[in-house]
Amino acid sequence: MRHKKAVPNRSYRVADQIQRDVALLIRDLKDPRIGMVTINSVEVTPDYAHAQVYFSVLVGDAAECETALNEAAGFLRNSLFKKLAIHTVPTLHFHFDKTTERAADLSALIARANSVRAKE
């Protein structure tokens, strides 16, 4: 029995395109809760029904921004329909990505440990 081989590169290309397009579309949103947002990554389900969009915020409140982005998800999805040349445009789910925040905290801890060590 032969199985149809999936093309993993396609889902990466779609996710990458969604990441770029959503980043551009967010700039046009007028919601004051959405600060300076960076789209860090997008993960698309194999059936293209859902996309998990991970973002970080340079300026603004992360929780408020996440709420505002999820409220705007339908509008953003409709805008993607016009840009993407795929049959199914996934439903967008926005999540604040704490990775950058954690990296900054770790860097601060390392710097503090190094300065203590230097004084010894």
- pTM, to two decimals: 0.77
Does residue 98 fall inside a structural domain? yes
Cβ-Cβ contacts under 8 Å for 14 (sequence gap 6 or more): 44, 48, 84, 86
Predicted confidence at residue 3, as pLDDT, reads 47
Does residue 67 fall inside a structural domain? yes
Query: pLDDT 10s digit of each residue in the chain, 120 long?
Result: 444 455 568 888 999 999 999 999 999 999 999 989 999 999 999 999 999 999 999 888 999 999 999 999 999 999 998 888 777 899 999 999 987 667 777 777 888 888 887 877
Largest CA distance in the chain: 68
Does residue 3 fall inside a structural domain? no
- Tally of structural domains, the chain: 1
Q: What is the CATH number of the domain that holds 30?
A: 3.30.300.20
Long-range contact pairs involving 98-104 (C-beta distance under 8 Å, separation at least 24): 99/40, 99/54, 99/56, 100/40, 100/56, 101/56
Predicted confidence at residue 25, as pLDDT, reads 96
